[in-house]
Amino acid sequence: MQISRCGAAFALSCGVLASLPVLAENAPRYNQVSLRAEVSKEVARDLMVVTLYSEAQDNDPGKLAKQITETMNKAVQQAREVKDVKISQGSRNSYPIYDNKGQKITGWRERAELRLESADFPALSKLTGDLLQDLKMGGMDFSIAPATRKASEDELLKDAVNAFKARAQLATEALGGSGYKVVNLNLNSSGYPRPYLRSAPMAMKAMAADAATPSPDVEAGTSEVSMNADGLIEVQMP
């Protein structure tokens, strides 16, 4: 019986010792300061995206589908001849047209989209102007290419960390501390806008009857991209 009590006491003491690290982790921490630092830079929109479409109407849906297909195939073949232009087909929809009473189908309308993407603005602008002879303008957008985005994020990340460290040092000195340690740190990028729409200039040029193949004016512009560093430090007091 005596041995059993000793064993129980030993097990209890081991349990208390094992719980000490947990208690230490949950112990309240003092002299903690939440900080936020933000850095930003202007990044050029270096990716041009153009959306074109073909739309027509006919009483025969089969004939209409053939017409749209031939028009889009011609545009795709023409686009393939231009180097460094990424081609993708967008949505294609066909729907009936009803009479005034909404009961009888009087015809069919179909629309198909073509999406072109390139970092070579002059080449894509010229191609777009050529294709506008058969297609219509859906929109012209400018955005930041993935590779450019990654490079700018990597550069801003270092700057954000350095800015956070500078603020942490200022906070430590203000509190009269001898140093600090980072408890946690979160880095987040922001500021990448939605594509920059520039469809109106091209549409107006394409409508000019006496104009040659139109080449739209390109104004991609820049975007301010930010990197935020949010974190928590613990100031070490002397």
Task: Quote the CA–CA distance of 98 and 109 in Å, as a whole number.
Answer: 11
Cα dihedral 49, 44, 192, 182, rounded to 10, equals 150
Question: What's the confidence (pLDDT) of residue 177?
Answer: 94
Instruction: Choose the CATH number for 47-143 among 3.30.9.10, 3.50.50.60, 3.30.465.10, 3.30.70.2970.
Output: 3.30.70.2970
Half-sphere exposure of residue 184, counting CA atoms within 13 Å on the CB side?
Answer: 3
In this prediction, residue 219 carries a pLDDT of 66
Instruction: Give pLDDT, residue 222.
Output: 86
Rounded CA separation 17/9 (Å): 12
Tell me the per-residue pLDDT of 177-216, one tens digit each, with 9 for 90 and over: 999 999 999 999 876 544 444 444 444 344 333 345 455 5
Question: Would you list the domain boundaries of the chain?
Answer: 47-143
pLDDT given for residue 28 in this prediction: 56
Amino acid 99: pLDDT: 86
Confidence of residue 217 (pLDDT cuts 50, 70, 90): low
236 or 6, higher pLDDT: 236
CA distance 54 to 112: 5
pTM reported for the whole predicted model = 0.66
Q: What is the pLDDT of residue 206?
A: 43
Instruction: Name which of 220, 45, 228, 51 is nearest 146 in CA terms.
Output: 45
15/119 Cα distance (integer angstroms): 65
